Amino acid sequence: MVTTTSTQSCNSESWFLDTGCSNHMTENKVSLREVYPGRNTKVKLLDHRTLTAKGMGKISIEGKNGKIAINEDVLYVPGMQWNLLSVGQLIRKGYSVIMKDNSLKLFDKTQRLILKTPLAKNMTFQNNIKTVELNCLSAIIKDEDSWLWHYRFGHLNFRGLNQLVDKEMILGVPKIEIPRIVCDTCLIGKQPRNAFSSSTTHGSKELMNVVCSDVCGPLKVPSLGGNKYFISFLDDFSRKIWLYLIKAKSEAFDMFQKFKILVEKQSGKSIKILRTDGGGGYTSKVIEKFCEDNVIVHEVTAPYTPQHNGLAERRNRSMFDMTISILKMKKMLNKFLGEVVRTATYILNRCPTKKLDQIREEIWLGSKQTDKHL
């Protein structure tokens, strides 16, 4: 909840953000909940008078969206003329404050803007807020929490987020409420072409039975490492994705060799079928000889029929949708696209799929995963 208010008058609903006071304070006991009367703290005023705090409580606050949250550790001080919000107390709880351009902005631990108030004519920062509108200072509103996880999962749709929670596919994600509004960034970053029907079937019975691969590029702007392409590998059984940035298509074979060694050691199984679209990275005789020597069937789809390698194409589409959404939302330069697409791959491996009741990473590793680190 972002609050910008006028400071023309002061009343019982006026709260001043004060860098000098040590605690949140109010004399309005009616607005406090769960007041503990045993907290008798001395409060020294600027004119050397001393008041006694008769307790400490909480304020129930209702945001503009109707959600309720709590602002804790508010001193009840009879005789206080104004309500004070302690900037120091907020900072100690993990908030940050920026005073710039004649305004004060308060940010939470995730750097989301929580409160903004202009500098008044008397050089104070005052918010005229009803006691039911301040609670976002101590609790994340449920709706905002849903948006936060939407962003953490690279703009994954809310149906997918709820699937993660309801089916306990991953640990660390709270219950998600579907917002009433649509994400503007998703509308920009996920505009599709018309769908085409699948022409191949996918029914692998074990890991590494079929590996789909595709080379994408060139990127309009090289990545920070100077890479213009990326190559993806997808296991048909687990749907897990591996992605590598490369400078040219000619590096595809070298990357496939590294990928083969990695996944076969991790899974204990050998790649049986390699499915590609016949692009420039997979047409050399060296690759054909390598597949023959390692008893790998190299399936090459017909030209100009990406639906024959639809699994890899759809995953690339999902990665690009997520990548563009992240770039657009954070207004990042295109030179970060290579790094962001790797992040998107990491996130997708922890997202649900329509065909599976487990996330890709769990199927591949054989153990339940957590996303608390996100």
Q: In this structure, which topology does domain 14-139 adopt according to CATH?
A: Cathepsin D, subunit A; domain 1 (2.40.70)
Residues of the chain with pLDDT under 50: 1-8, 63, 65, 67, 132-141, 198-201
**CA dist list (Å): 297 to 146, 240, 309:** 45, 20, 15
Q: How many other β-carbons are positioned within 10 Å of the β-carbon of residue 168?
A: 11
**Are the beta carbons of 342 and 245 closer than 8 angstroms?**
yes
Q: Is the peptide bond before 218 cis (omega within 30 degrees of 0)?
A: yes
What is the predicted pLDDT for the residue at 200? 47
pLDDT value at residue 130: 53
pLDDT of 227 reads 92
CA angle 33, 38, 43 (to 5 degrees): 90
In this predicted structure, what is the pLDDT of residue 272? 95
Which of 167, 144, 16 shows the shortest CA–CA distance to 80? 16
Identify the pLDDT of residue 245: 94
Strand 103-107 to 113-118 pairing: antiparallel
Answer whether 80's CB lies under 8 Å from 26's CB.
Answer: yes
Tokens of 83: 């309500």
Annotated catalytic sites, by residue? 18
Tokens of 130: 């009803």
Q: What is the pLDDT of residue 195?
A: 55
Say what the pLDDT of residue 307 is. Answer: 55
- The pLDDT value recorded for residue 310 is 59
Query: Which pLDDT does position 43 carry in this prediction?
Result: 85
pLDDT digits (tens, 9 = 90+) for 230-247: 999 999 999 999 999 999
Class of residue 320 by CB neighbours under 10 A (exposed 0-12, middle 13-18, buried 19+)? middle
Domain boundaries, the chain: 14-139, 185-365
The Cα 173–Cα 169 span in angstroms is 10
Q: Cα separation of 171 and 164, whole Å?
A: 9
The CATH label, of 3.20.20.10, 3.90.1150.30, 3.30.390.30, 3.30.420.10, for the domain at 185-365 is 3.30.420.10
